[in-house]
Amino acid sequence: GAGVSQTPSNKVTEKGKYVELRCDPISGHTALYWYRQSLGQGPEFLIYFQGTGAADDSGLPNDRFFAVRPEGSVSTLKIQRTERGDSAVYLCASSLTPGSSYGYTFGSGTRLTVV
Amino acid sequence: AQKITQTQPGMFVQEKEAVTLDCTYDTSDQSYGLFWYKQPSSGEMIFLIYQGSYDEQNATEGRYSLNFQKARKSANLVISASQLGDSAMYFCAMESGTASKLTFGTGTRLQVTL
């Protein structure tokens, strides 16, 4: 596609439930990133994929968070046993190569609200 | 550890005037890249400009320029001839060393007035 697509754009879930957030990167972009942006803050890094593998998952806050990218394209961020503190905007970005000076292209994000 | 500091939570500028948004960074790496992003109310992060640590000239992209002062570890964004559509949050970010990830500041909310 022309840009990075994230679905759903909004998700409301009950505490304790499981959620999946989807990211469809720009075609041909090998690097894919997930960030979390809490209210009034800048985005914080969660995980980075190069191809199918997670090259850096140091930003995942705990083992309730998991992400996959099985075919090196679409990625899914999975959150188990959601907590109210997980409420945030989850941003996905892709780049042609890691560290591209052309910048990372971000999607519009998924706003997750845990009630 | 890498850190980005943006000390201006909010800024006002009149239409057609220039404005400078401050950004200082901290890293022990010799190789790094600095980015500025614009985030309108729609939420998307829009890439504006990039400066590499070894670039000798300040980056420019249309009305955007980056005032890079390496010794002071600052990378201020200058927007010339402000437009109403420039009203948004602006984030400074850094990619440092071999880490392929961005560290963001807390952002500056810019409001352009008539």
Three-class secondary structure of residue A46 per DSSP: strand
> Of A44, A103, A111, which is closest to B35 when you measure between CB atoms?
A103
Write the burial class of residue B74 (CB in 10 Å: 0-12 exposed, 13-18 middle, 19+ buried): middle
* Mean per-residue pLDDT, A9-27: 97
Q: Which of A30, A39, A34, A101 is nearest to A61 (CA)?
A: A34
Predicted local confidence at residue B97, as pLDDT: 77
Predicted local confidence at residue A100, as pLDDT: 62
Question: How many A-B residue pairs are in contact by the CB < 8 A criterion?
Answer: 62
| Contact yes or no for A46/A97 (Cβ under 8 A) | no
* Mean per-residue pLDDT, A58-79: 96
Q: Is residue A66 predicted with pLDDT exceeding 60?
A: yes
A53–B contact, CB cutoff 8 A: no
Yes or no, beta carbons of A56 and B104 under 8 Å apart: no
Q: Is residue B74 predicted with pLDDT exceeding 90?
A: yes
Cis amide prior to A98 (ω within 30 degrees): no
Q: Is residue A103 predicted with pLDDT exceeding 80?
A: no
Predicted local confidence at residue A97, as pLDDT: 75
Considering just the CA atoms, what is the radius of gyration of chain A in Å? 13
User: Which residues touch A46 (CB under 8 Å, ≥6 apart)?
Assistant: A33, A34, A35, A36, A57, A59, A60, A61, A65, A67, A77, A90
DSSP B106: -
- Read off the amino acid at residue B16: K
- A25-39, A40-54, A86-100, B67-81: least confident range: A86-100
Predicted local confidence at residue B1, as pLDDT: 80
* Mean per-residue pLDDT, A5-20: 97
Yes or no, beta carbons of A104 and B52 under 8 Å apart: no
Predicted local confidence at residue A96, as pLDDT: 84
Distance from CA of B77 to the nearest CA of A (A): 16
Which position has the token pair 């959601």?
A82
Confidence of residue B100 (pLDDT cuts 50, 70, 90): confident
Predicted local confidence at residue B66, as pLDDT: 97
